[in-house]
């Protein structure tokens, strides 16, 4: 009697597209719709006046990477953090590092070689668009 059982064959593994990092930067941009309500508190008179005088504004920070996947360049970004006072230099630096770290993880997830993404954060990659 002939063997009527179906044979299951393994399909060849799909080749994962190679993702190549072309550029990476941290961007600081003007926050178009900041929540300034905290400035209305009584203890914030000086800060509110400084904001009204244009001594500082509000910005957002995110990391961006240009990545080529199968010859098509895409821009990938971290989630970003908004509503930061533009004169808060130390805090901006801290957020920039966090966003860079988040983007490194995203790049790793899509297959960009870890060696292609510098492990240490370099403040020189911060670009102000604000």
Q: Is residue 44 part of a domain?
A: yes
The predicted-structure confidence for 34-89, as pLDDT tens digits, reads as follows 999 999 999 999 999 999 999 999 999 999 999 998 889 999 999 999 999 999 99
Q: Which domain holds residue 91?
A: 19-128
Other beta carbons less than 10 A from residue 126's beta carbon: 17
Q: Is residue 111 part of a domain?
A: yes
Q: Is residue 12 part of a domain?
A: no
Q: Is residue 1 part of a domain?
A: no
The pTM assigned to this predicted structure is 0.82
Q: Is residue 14 part of a domain?
A: no
Domain count, the chain: 1
Q: Name the burial class of residue 61, with classes exposed (0-12), middle (13-18) and buried (19+) by CB atoms within 10 angstroms of its CB.
A: buried
Q: Is residue 10 part of a domain?
A: no
Q: Is residue 11 part of a domain?
A: no
pLDDT confidence of residue 130: 60
């Amino acid at each position: 009697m002939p063997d009527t059982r179906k044979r299951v064959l393994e399909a060849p593994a799909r080749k994962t597209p190679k993702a190549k990092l072309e550029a990476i930067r941290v961007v600081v941009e003007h926050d178009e719709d900041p929540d300034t309500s905290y400035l209305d508190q009584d203890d914030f008179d000086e800060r509110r006046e400084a904001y009204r005088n244009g001594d500082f504004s509000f910005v957002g920070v995110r990391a961006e990477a240009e990545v080529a996947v199968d010859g098509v360049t895409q821009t990938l970004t971290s989630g970003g953090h908004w509503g930061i006072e533009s004169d808060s230099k130390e805090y901006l630096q801290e957020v920039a590092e966090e966003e860079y770290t988040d983007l490194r993880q995203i790049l790793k997830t899509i297959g960009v070689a870890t060696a292609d993404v510098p492990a240490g954060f370099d403040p020189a990659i911060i670009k102000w668009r604000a």
